[in-house]
Chain A
Amino acid sequence: MVILTHQEAYIQLASPIHRWLPQQKLIGLFALMFAFAAVRQLALLVPMLAVTAVLYGLSQLPISFLGQRLRYPGMFILAVVLVLPLASGETVLWQWGWLAVRQEGLQTMGLVLGRFLSILTLGFILLGTTPFLSLIKAMRSLGLPAILTDMTLLSYRYLYEIADTLAIMQQAMQLRGFGQTRQRRLRLDRRVLQQLASLIGTLLIRSYERSERVYKAMRLRGYGRPQEPVKTVRAGQKRLPDKVGWALTGATLSLAVGFVVAEVALSRL
């Protein structure tokens, strides 16, 4: 399954982005992502890609990490935007019979691809340099409701085990002959639909029954009872974010504001 890749393979690196406090990193990178989403001016395309490249360089993540993750969503976005130079705009740059490449469509395609590449890369920097648990804790400290936090953590905890269960069930189905008979006609086989519904139904039932055992174990460990305040951190021991983290937060927030201001100013020219 696609989700079973080594997501946290580069978590142990010690780059400035890795040492950046998760809360600050979340705020800084999200602000930059939304600022990039606001970019409509072609003049901002190169600065946007340059900022992304600098941040990716600072993260010390290998290019192969990005390449692997961009492949699948990249194919999707290409399928959406490749038609734009052929359909959108009036200034014809190149024509062959009825086929014409237009300047305005080409510019829109460049903008969409640039924004997509930059925002997605920032997302992968966030995930590639922050352990998933730290990310969720940071989101909780920034106001994510407790139910959403608990659900996210529990879902993530059992995601891979449930994926393994499904893989075993699918293998068992194939060994019993599922998918062996080939049809050539374009039609939906009712029996296949029932078999796949039973497969997902059984997966849901197994997960549901497992959740009852998980809940009992969680209750025994005190889940759902009112928590007493934890007094383990003394004022003198409180970990302060380092200067690099503050500098990165300041820089990303300033850049985000700068991109929005530049976008507004350029659109009025």
Chain B
Amino acid sequence: MHIPDGILPVQVSAGGYAIASLVTWYSLRQINRKSDPTAEIPKASLLTAAFFVGSSIYIPIPPTSIHLILNGLMGVVLGYFAFPAILIGLFFQALIIGHGGLTTLGVNATMMGVPALLAYHIFQLRHSLGRSLPGTWGTGLFAFLGGALGLGLAALVFFVLVITTIPSGFDATTEQTAIVGLSIAHIPLMVIEGAFTATLVLFLQRVKPELLEGVGKS
């Protein structure tokens, strides 16, 4: 789910860079508020590399397989480092394998990074709203919501941008129907991404709980 070069009007590409710069500035501001921000950089960097590598894994759903986006999971684990991490990951993908693009880097980073930050805030709700739930249900539920909404929002922005900017000859109503239809078709993928995020977060909580508390959290 990357928008390649050459599809979007230049105004949208430039707008994507403007929004991505603003969100990067805000994320770095939050990171710099920590007492020792440099201590978190190696952790966030190696986790960024691990996420980049891990996103190449496919989940088999016979007779096919699906690709995970992991942006919600990045938000849950990396907190405010998620946006710079996604920006860097997309930069690598554009340069190394030509996936996405350099002119669309800002748009792609915004499309995946902003939902990641939202997923982080949703996951933080486990401390307040999830407290009343039994055992690990709160953590699992808010991790699921973070993962599912991270993918869902990114998919929605992707379809809106691609369908409304490519001159297809369809009228506004048809375009709207296509966006709604494609977004609804992605609900099963949201459920899988959410379930995967919840399973992984519960695994981390059992084995290495400080990974869910430490990096990039304000």
Contacts and interface: CB of A to CB of B under 8 A. Distances in A.
Given A112-B7, A155-B88, A30 B203 contact: no
**Highest count of chain A CB atoms <10 Å: which of B38, B49, B168:** B49
Given A37-B6, A87-B170, A120-B101, 6 more contacts: A1-B53, A113-B6, A119-B102, A123-B98, A123-B101, A150-B45
B interface residue count range (under 10 / 10 to 19 / 20 to 34 / 35 or more): 35 or more
A84 B166 contact: yes
Interface of A: 1-3, 5, 7, 30, 33-34, 36-38, 40, 69-70, 72-73, 76-77, 80-81, 84, 87-90, 102, 104-105, 108, 112-120, 123-124, 126-127, 145, 147-148, 150-156, 158-159, 162-163, 166, 179, 182-189, 192-194, 196-201, 203-208, 210-212, 214-215, 218, 223-224
A123 B41 contact: no
A116 B5 contact: yes
B41 A154 contact: yes
Contacts of B45: 150-151, 153-155, 158, 211
A216 to B, nearest CB: 9
A80 B88 CA distance: 25
Interface residue SS majority, chain A: helix
Nearest to B197: A197
Contacts of A104: 167, 169
Contacts of A210: 46
Interface in B34-58: 36-39, 41-54, 56-57
A223 B45 CA distance: 15
Nearest to B12: A37
**Highest count of chain A CB atoms <10 Å: which of B53, B60, B62, B84:** B53
Given A72-B98, A224-B38, A34 B46 contact: no
Nearest to A170: B57
A156 to B, nearest CB: 7
Contacts of A88: 167-169
13 contacts: A38-B10, A40-B9, A88-B167, A90-B169, A115-B6, A117-B6, A151-B41, A154-B45, A154-B46, A162-B46, A162-B49, A185-B62, A186-B62
A188 B59 contact: yes
A22 to B, nearest CB: 14
Interface in B125-156: none
Contacts of B101: 119-120, 123
A147 B37 contact: yes
B10 A73 contact: no
Contacts of A200: 50, 54, 57, 200
Contacts of A37: 5-6, 8-10, 13, 103
Given A151-B85, A159-B49, A204 B5 contact: no
Contacts of B162: 80
A124 B199 CA distance: 38
A204 B50 contact: yes
A2 B97 contact: yes
**8 nearest CB pairs, A to B:** A116-B6, A115-B6, A154-B45, A88-B169, A119-B5, A38-B10, A224-B38, A197-B199
A88 B47 CA distance: 44
Contacts of B67: none
**Highest count of chain B CB atoms <10 Å: which of A76, A127, A158, A211:** A211
A183 B37 CA distance: 48
A203 B4 contact: no
A7 B39 CA distance: 31
